[in-house]
A and B are shown apart, each in its own frame.
Chain A
Amino acid sequence: GAVVSQHPSRVICKSGTSVKIECRSLDFQATTMFWYRQFPKQSLMLMATSNEGSKATYEQGVEKDKFLINHASLTLSTLTVTSAHPEDSSFYICSARVEDRENQPQHFGDGTRLSIL
Chain B
Amino acid sequence: GQNIDQPTEMTATEGAIVQINCTYQTSGFNGLFWYQQHAGEAPTFLSYNVLDGLEEKGRFSSFLSRSKGYSYLLLKELQMKDSASYLCAALDSNYQLIWGAGTKLIIKP
**Residues in chain A within 8 A of chain B (CB atoms):** 6, 42-46, 91, 93, 102-103, 105-111, 113
Contacts and interface: CB of A to CB of B under 8 A. Distances in A.
A15 B101 CA distance: 29
A113 B41 CA distance: 10
B30 interface: yes
Interface of B, secondary structure class, is: loop
A102 B95 contact: yes
Contact of A111 (B42, B97, B102): B42
Nearest to A3: B45
Interface residues of B, number: 19
Contact of A43 (B40, B42, B45, B102): B102
A111 B41 contact: yes
A45 B45 CA distance: 17
A106 B41 contact: no
A105 B101 CA distance: 18
A93 B40 CA distance: 11
B7 interface: no
Nearest to B102: A43
A103 B45 contact: no
B87 A43 contact: yes
A54 to B, nearest CB: 18
B49 to A, nearest CB: 11
B100 A106 contact: no
Contact of A102 (B30, B44, B87): B30
A110 B97 contact: no
A44 B43 contact: yes
